[in-house]
Amino acid sequence: MTTALADSWVIARRGLVHMRRLPEALVDATIQPIMFVLLFAYVFGGAIHPPGGGSYKEFLMGGIFAQTLTFGIFGVALALANDRKNGAIDRFHSLPISRAAVLAGHALANLMRSMLPIGLMSIAGLIVGWRIHSSVGNAVAAYALMIGFVFALIWIGVLLASLVRTPEAVQGVAFIFIFPLTFVASTFVPTQSLPSVLRTIAEWNPITSVANALRHLFGNPGGTLPDHGPWSLQHPVAYSVLWIAGILLVCAPLAVGAYQRSIRS
């Protein structure tokens, strides 16, 4: 057990060194969220009015946090797909280490990687005028929710990498499925403004739920819980936690299984 942890840490450290030495692979975790904060705050800021009033810049932050963390799926998926492509997975598996260590190492490195966008977005938000209006306890809960969400998404990334296998295919899935999914949500606009089918999808989309939960916990515009409407909108924190638990219970074992099958052939 101790050696399995030590092995995971060796592989996690390697992942962190990779990130430092290939900064262009960090664009989605650094420049992109900052750019989105600035673009949406200043380009759309005047045109969109959050439900219940308040500043759009403050409404925006919960959405951009949720979207950027969702893109984190690709950090781990790409790292695994690249390791498979260049043979690193084979080399690791020819060594006398626990096979779980490779996955655990990647998961750990990507969990640590996600601290970067969370920190940078918070700073960018504070600069454009976002503030936390709630209690310290709620703010801590908001950041804990983000970390839990990232941890769950990492296993979706592992599953994705085991199913599609090549870095190119990972990029393809990113663009075709995940990118739109982050927009059919309350990320940038309130769900009320969406047409019927999209609106229903958005209302039950976990990205909406995480965005609204963060708005609620930070005391930002759009965070007031409605008295009627779908259960997911009335209880965004509980609904987000359910998603996180569901992904961990269902996706994580599937992901580990798919990964094991993909390497033992």
SS3 19: helix
Q: How far is the CB of 83 from another protein (least distance, A)?
A: 9
Cα–Cα distances (Å) from 264 to 76, 162, 181, 257, in that order, read 20, 12, 33, 11
Q: How far is the CB of 1 from another protein (least distance, A)?
A: 13
Q: How far is the CB of 93 from another protein (least distance, A)?
A: 6
Give the integer Cα–Cα distance in Å for 19 and 176. 25
Given a contact cutoff of 8 angstroms between Cβ atoms, the answer to whether 58 and 220 are in contact is: yes
Give the integer Cα–Cα distance in Å for 187 and 62. 7
Q: How far is the CB of 101 from another protein (least distance, A)?
A: 8
Contact mark string toward another protein, 11..40, x via CB under 8 A? x--x--xx--xx------------------
Q: How far is the CB of 176 from another protein (least distance, A)?
A: 20
| Residue 218: closest CA among 141, 125, 165 | 141
User: 5, 10, 238, 250: which one contacts another protein (CB under 8 A)?
Assistant: 10
Given a contact cutoff of 8 angstroms between Cβ atoms, the answer to whether 81 and 173 are in contact is: no
Q: Which tokens hold the place of 33? A: 């969220």
User: Between residues 96 and 195, which has the closer beta carbon with respect to another protein?
Assistant: 96
DSSP 8-class letter at 226: P
Helices (H), 40-99: 56-71, 73-85, 88-93
Given a contact cutoff of 8 angstroms between Cβ atoms, the answer to whether 117 and 19 are in contact is: no
Contact mark string toward another protein, 76..105, x via CB under 8 A? ----------xxx-xxxxxxxx--------
Q: Which tokens hold the place of 155? A: 């296993």
Q: How far is the CB of 71 from another protein (least distance, A)?
A: 22
Give the integer Cα–Cα distance in Å for 164 and 62. 31
The count of residues interacting with another protein (CB under 8 A) is: 25
User: Between residues 92 and 239, which has the closer beta carbon with respect to another protein?
Assistant: 92
Considering only 8-16, 65-73, 233-241, 252-260, which stretch makes contact with another protein by CB under 8 A? 8-16
Q: How far is the CB of 118 from another protein (least distance, A)?
A: 24
Contact mark string toward another protein, 169..188, x via CB under 8 A? --------------------
Using CB under 8 A as the binding rule, the residues of this chain from 211 to 240 that contact another protein are none
Considering only 130-138, 188-196, 242-250, 257-265, which stretch makes contact with another protein by CB under 8 A? 257-265
- The torsion angles phi and psi of 19, rounded to 5 degrees, stand at -60, -40
Residues found near another protein in the complex (CB under 8 A): 3, 6-7, 10-11, 14, 17-18, 21-22, 86-88, 90-97, 262-265
